[in-house]
């Protein structure tokens, strides 16, 4: 087990920052009692590696007197970091000291809008990916599944377990996580909701069951995983690429492209395949679909499996984007509800459109409201849509009475 400290000299020119490693800078590691555990000087790559005996609380200090002549810490920078025991999720913990200029630069409003739009598209694709299963389950069974967020969390936690705990590369394990997510969705239906439907339990009672299931699973995740968010090992340290006025990491660009491909594939399957047409038929009118010979129970099982698989994939992508946590799925739940309401309740295509629009709205809202409140406009849209157009953008109005 070790701590790797990196010391970089940063310069900013025309809004673009660049970093140069600083060699021969001394770094000292002390324990919670102040005793020196180890010290080292940085090499030509600006890195100093200090072995530590165990997971514990440590303080890493940069000896500023060993910096090159004229060099000093960047504005707002620190020469000391405190690492807590729980922060050692892998065998190596890295910290970075910045010398020189702080990386602040003036950004025009147009550049901010472009960056937020790009972030919104990426978030919207993840929300759409996660929302499709929620929307299809509602369309085929009438159930509003409040435990769908925990299906997303399941995908993120499984990815963390295989990638960080066991050490399997994410590219290898991601398809396995998707399959496990599909099996998890099937188990939801087979163990609980199929039995409730068979006993003709009402939708309100099933909704209450899903709320209880959500609370139970969230607390189980908290007990097993802990309350702190943790990164996946693979692709966690990447430098953003400049694409015109926006900056995006190769990881985020790749996950966005994969999300788009998966969503297009889902749309084509629903539109053109025999099973997809059966799913849409059951969503439109379950009784009529059953009367025409469609096995509605089989279609519902397929929908639960597909919804679980898509939610698990969304959990993996969300874990790469925002780190993995026990409540990562529940944090997206109301945004998913806003998405499927905006797009059209029970419509898979509505979930695609609504998820994309909600993600874009959430990120763009941070331009005018504090980032802590950026979800509020999306929830306001949810209320307005329910009042003004309850069927959503792609939903069909129905006559009551």
Residue 15 belongs to domain with CATH number: 2.60.40.10
Q: How far apart are CA 394 and CA 168, in angstroms?
A: 42
57 and 117 within one domain? no
pLDDT (0 to 100) of residue 214: 95
Q: How far apart are CA 219 and CA 27, in angstroms?
A: 40
Domain assignment present for 393: no
pLDDT band at 33; cut points 50, 70, 90? confident
118 and 67 within one domain? no
pTM recorded for the entire structure: 0.72
Averaged over 189-204, what is the pLDDT?
A: 92
45 and 178 within one domain? no
150 and 25 within one domain? no
Q: How far apart are CA 390 and CA 147, in angstroms?
A: 23
65 and 121 within one domain? no
pLDDT (0 to 100) of residue 249: 84
348 and 209 within one domain? yes
Q: Kindly tell me if the per-residue pLDDT of 376 is higher than 90.
A: no
Question: Which has the minimum average pLDDT: 87-91, 97-101, 357-361?
Answer: 87-91
Mean pLDDT is highest, among 9-23, 41-55, 201-215, for 201-215
Q: How far apart are CA 95 and CA 101, in angstroms?
A: 18
141 and 215 within one domain? yes
pLDDT band at 115; cut points 50, 70, 90? confident
pLDDT band at 210; cut points 50, 70, 90? very high
Distances (CA, A) of 105 to 102, 186, 192: 9, 50, 54
Q: How far apart are CA 302 and CA 314, in angstroms?
A: 18
Q: Kindly tell me if the per-residue pLDDT of 67 is higher than 70.
A: yes
Q: Kindly tell me if the per-residue pLDDT of 400 is higher than 50.
A: no
pLDDT band at 102; cut points 50, 70, 90? very low
pLDDT band at 192; cut points 50, 70, 90? very high
Strands (E), 200-348: 241-243, 246-248
Averaged over 357-364, what is the pLDDT?
A: 85
pLDDT (0 to 100) of residue 401: 44
Domain assignment present for 134: yes
Domain assignment present for 232: yes
Which residues span the domain enclosing 140?
109-388
pLDDT (0 to 100) of residue 189: 93
Q: Kindly tell me if the per-residue pLDDT of 174 is higher than 90.
A: yes
Residue after which a domain boundary falls, among 76, 100, 124: 100
Domain assignment present for 200: yes
196 and 68 within one domain? no
Token pair for residue 72? Answer: 């000093």
Domain assignment present for 396: no
Q: Kindly tell me if the per-residue pLDDT of 74 is higher than 70.
A: no
Domain assignment present for 398: no
Averaged over 97-109, what is the pLDDT?
A: 62
142 and 33 within one domain? no
Domain assignment present for 395: no
227 and 84 within one domain? no
Residue 161 CB neighbour total at 10 angstroms: 16
119 and 94 within one domain? no
- What is the residue-averaged pLDDT of the chain? 84
Residue after which a domain boundary falls, among 55, 82, 100: 100
Q: pLDDT tens digits for 246-295?
A: 888 888 899 999 999 999 999 899 888 999 899 888 888 888 888 888 99
Domain assignment present for 81: yes
Residues 217, 326: contact at Cβ < 8 Å?
A: no
Residue after which a domain boundary falls, among 45, 77, 100: 100
Question: Which has the minimum average pLDDT: 44-58, 130-144, 171-185?
Answer: 44-58
pLDDT (0 to 100) of residue 155: 95
Q: Domain count for the chain, please give it.
A: 2
Averaged over 17-35, what is the pLDDT?
A: 82
Q: Kindly tell me if the per-residue pLDDT of 369 is higher than 90.
A: no
Q: How far apart are CA 7 and CA 49, in angstroms?
A: 12
pLDDT (0 to 100) of residue 236: 72
Burial 307-326 (b: 16+ CB within 10 A, else e): bbbbbbbbbbbbbbbbbbbb
172 and 95 within one domain? no
CATH at 241: 1.10.3470
């Amino acid at each position: 087990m070790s701590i790797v400290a990196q010391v970089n000299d940063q310069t900013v020119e025309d809004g673009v920052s660049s970093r140069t490693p600083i060699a021969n800078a001394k770094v000292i590691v002390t324990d919670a009692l102040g005793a020196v555990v180890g010290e080292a000087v940085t090499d030509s790559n600006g890195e100093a590696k200090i072995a530590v005996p165990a997971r514990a609380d440590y303080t890493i200090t940069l000896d500023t007197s060993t910096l090159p002549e004229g060099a000093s810490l960047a504005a707002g920078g620190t020469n000391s970091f405190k690492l807590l025991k729980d922060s050692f999720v892998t065998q190596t913990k890295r910290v970075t000291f910045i010398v020189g200029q702080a990386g602040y630069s003036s950004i025009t409003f147009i550049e901010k809008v472009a960056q937020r739009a790009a972030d919104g598209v990426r978030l919207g694709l993840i929300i759409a990916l996660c929302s499709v299963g929620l929307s299809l389950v509602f369309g085929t069974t009438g159930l509003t599944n409040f435990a769908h967020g925990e299906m997303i969390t399941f995908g993120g936690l499984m990815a963390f377990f295989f990638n960080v705990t066991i050490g399997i590369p994410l590219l290898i394990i991601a398809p396995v996580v998707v399959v496990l997510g599909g099996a998890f969705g099937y188990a939801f239906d087979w163990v609980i909701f199929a039995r409730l439907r068979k006993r003709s339990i009402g939708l309100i009672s099933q909704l209450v069951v899903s709320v209880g299931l959500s609370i139970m699973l969230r607390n189980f995740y908290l007990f097993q995983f802990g309350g702190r968010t943790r990164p996946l090992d693979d692709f966690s340290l990447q430098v953003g690429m400049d694409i015109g006025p926006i900056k995006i990491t190769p990881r985020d660009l790749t996950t966005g492209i994969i999300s788009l491909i998966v969503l297009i594939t889902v749309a084509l399957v629903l539109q053109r395949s025999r099973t997809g047409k059966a799913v849409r038929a059951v969503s439109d009118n379950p009784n009529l679909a059953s009367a025409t010979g469609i096995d509605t129970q089989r279609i519902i099982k397929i929908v639960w499996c597909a919804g679980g698989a898509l939610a698990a994939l969304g959990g993996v992508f969300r874990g790469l984007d925002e780190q993995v946590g026990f409540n990562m799925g529940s944090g997206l739940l109301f945004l998913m509800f806003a998405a499927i309401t905006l797009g059209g309740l029970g419509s898979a295509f509505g979930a695609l459109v609504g998820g994309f629009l909600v993600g874009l709205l959430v990120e763009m809202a941070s331009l005018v409201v504090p980032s802590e409140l950026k979800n509020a406009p999306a929830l306001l849209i949810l209320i307005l849509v329910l009042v003004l157009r309850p069927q959503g953008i792609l939903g069909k109005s129905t006559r009551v009475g």
